[in-house]
Copies of this chain bind each other. A is one copy, B any other.
Amino acid sequence: MTKKSKEGLSAKKEENFSEWFQQLIIKSELADYSPVSGCIVFRPASFNIWEKTKEVIDNEFKKVGIKNVYFPMFIPEKLLSKEIEHVKGFAPEVAWVTHAGNTKLNEKLAIRPTSEAIMYGSYSKWIRSWRNLPLKLNQWVNVVRWEFNNPIPFFRTREFLFNEGHNAYSNKKELDKDKDKITKIYSEFLKNYMALPSLLGKKTDKEKFAGAVATYSSELYLPNGKAIQGPDYHDDGQNFAKAYNIKFLDKSGKEQFAYQSTYAISTRMLGIMFAIHSDNKGLIIPPKLAENKIVIIPLMFEKNKDILKKARELSSELSRHNPIVDDRLEVTPGYKFNEWELKGIPLRIEIGPKDLNKKEVVVARRDNEKKVSVKIKKIEEYINNELRKMQETLFKKAQKLLNDNINKADNLKDAIRKINGKKIVLVPLKNSSNVEEILKEKTKGAKTLNIPEKQPKIKGKKCIISGEQADYWVYVGKSY
């Protein structure tokens, strides 16, 4: 038992989410702290999920005609400053390279916080005619945003990994068509792979991306009552095209500025997924994203060689689920159970002498702890079914968590009460930066998340801050 409490999680998710989350990340070996403040090490267990994320999304991107590139991670200071809203948004968090070896650089270089400023000079060179459009380029890279807030593994780290897609079009119609495809790629990935529902909508003008015309985001609800933003999509209109001189001759020979969009999913999503699904025993990963979907634990195999043999047979039979056979002698079966639960293997198969006599094995599911004896000849079918069901169950559970924590509120007092009760509230609001500042103050830190596309009736509804006719219903919550 001392062993267990040392290796397992001592904090409870429902009591101390923050401590629980940090223990989860470290003890299940997803990540580790590093000597660089605010930066983490992505260990194989989490990096594998990031690679799978890249693979699935990249495959979908290709169908939209998006191609991968790699731009330098350095941005000369002058270039960063070209789009004024953009530089205001990022400059306070930029890491600056000032020296190489012992030599001071002539111009200091920003490490990309995002790559508009380095990419769009090339776009300006490459795009001359409508024939060069659309141009749809993406890169999967590391970025640095030197936040001075308290870092949290995955949620807020100074270096993180993301995709940044940068598309340019000759007209807004084409851009909008891709917008729907791209936002769907993200939300379907969240739903079908990460088993996560999300709130989709448009950011308010105040909260949109620095330099964009409009930002569309997915927002998620964490078990600690905080909202957190998932993947986003920005309609940049012609803002960057004007700042970086991205012009083309249209079919009639007229010079026009290009229309642009950008979109991103980051390693933050991994943290969101770990936080929502996992429990006090450790990690829970949706089976579709688990590298090893099964661990096979042979019991008392030192005395009965047939057991280990059967375990290995099963392993090769179920090889497409990439099973682990845990044949260690130096630890007890109970220790093994705990360890693999902590590490989030979706299914555990136990084989003991009695089971073997009955030509059965015991299958235990990580998420609901269901244990069932299964005939060996039926094992493959059973496993396939359970993995599918587990994937569905996790989504439904996350859907319930989200639904249970969204409330409507049409006055400030009610909104504050619900926000204090850790809810996301849907409120009528004016489109006004000032109104949002007051909202933040009155709620001690809640901000607008996004404006859902499907709007309840807004006519006659008063803004909960200004009392005037509201412009829209918008989700509000305390947020990372």
Could you tell me if B34 and A122 are in contact, using CB atoms closer than 8 angstroms?
A: yes
Could you tell me if B42 and A69 are in contact, using CB atoms closer than 8 angstroms?
A: yes
Q: How many whole Å from A41's CB to the nearest CB in chain B?
A: 5
Could you tell me if A69 and B44 are in contact, using CB atoms closer than 8 angstroms?
A: yes
Could you tell me if A36 and B100 are in contact, using CB atoms closer than 8 angstroms?
A: no
A40 at interface, CB cutoff 8 A: yes
Q: A67-B44, A92-B101, A146-B100 are in contact. Are A72 and B118 (CB under 8 A)?
A: no
Docked pose: A291 CA to B476 CA in angstroms: 47
Q: How many whole Å from A210's CB to the nearest CB in chain B?
A: 15
A51 at interface, CB cutoff 8 A: yes
A39 at interface, CB cutoff 8 A: yes
Q: A35-B76, A35-B121 are in contact. Are A98 and B101 (CB under 8 A)?
A: no
Interface residues of A in 68-99 (CB under 8 A from B): 68-76, 79, 91-99
Q: A96-B100, A99-B98 are in contact. Are A118 and B34 (CB under 8 A)?
A: yes
Q: A95-B99, A97-B96, A146-B101 are in contact. Are A71 and B41 (CB under 8 A)?
A: yes
Q: Collect the chain B residues with CB atoms within 8 Å of residue A76's CB.
A: 35-36
A47 at interface, CB cutoff 8 A: yes
- Interface residue count for A (Cβ, 8 Å)? 55
Q: Collect the chain B residues with CB atoms within 8 Å of residue A161's CB.
A: 70
Could you tell me if A101 and B97 are in contact, using CB atoms closer than 8 angstroms?
A: no
Docked pose: A40 CA to B74 CA in angstroms: 11
Docked pose: A69 CA to B44 CA in angstroms: 5
Q: A69-B43, A69-B44 are in contact. Are A125 and B32 (CB under 8 A)?
A: yes
In chain B, what residue has the closest Cβ to A71? B41
Q: How many whole Å from A60's CB to the nearest CB in chain B?
A: 16
Docked pose: A48 CA to B208 CA in angstroms: 33
Counted per complex, copies of this chain come to 2
Q: Collect the chain B residues with CB atoms within 8 Å of residue A126's CB.
A: 32
A142 at interface, CB cutoff 8 A: yes
Could you tell me if A47 and B34 are in contact, using CB atoms closer than 8 angstroms?
A: no
Q: How many whole Å from A50's CB to the nearest CB in chain B?
A: 8
Q: Collect the chain B residues with CB atoms within 8 Å of residue A101's CB.
A: 91-94, 146, 148
Interface bits A137-170 vs B (CB < 8 Å: 1, else 0): 1000110001010000000000101000000000
Could you tell me if B96 and A92 are in contact, using CB atoms closer than 8 angstroms?
A: no
Interface bits A26-41 vs B (CB < 8 Å: 1, else 0): 0000001011100111
Interface bits A1-40 vs B (CB < 8 Å: 1, else 0): 0000000000000000000000000000000101110011
- Partner of A98 from B98, B121, B141 at Cβ < 8 Å: B98
A402 at interface, CB cutoff 8 A: no
Docked pose: A378 CA to B390 CA in angstroms: 49
Docked pose: A97 CA to B158 CA in angstroms: 13
Q: Collect the chain B residues with CB atoms within 8 Å of residue A96's CB.
A: 97-100
Q: How many whole Å from A118's CB to the nearest CB in chain B?
A: 7
A111 at interface, CB cutoff 8 A: yes
Q: How many whole Å from A246's CB to the nearest CB in chain B?
A: 15
What are 5 A-B interface contacts by the 8 Å CB criterion? A40-B72, A51-B68, A70-B161, A96-B97, A96-B99
Apart from A73-B142, A141-B142: 11 A-B pairs, beta carbons within 8 A = A32-B125, A34-B118, A36-B76, A36-B109, A48-B68, A51-B68, A92-B101, A92-B102, A94-B101, A96-B99, A97-B111
Residues of A whose CB lies within 8 Å of any CB of B are: 32, 34-36, 39-44, 47-48, 50-51, 67-76, 79, 91-103, 108-109, 111, 118, 121-122, 125-126, 131, 137, 141-142, 146, 148, 159, 161, 330
| Nearest 7 Cβ contacts at the A-B interface | A100-B146, A39-B72, A44-B67, A42-B70, A96-B99, A92-B101, A36-B74
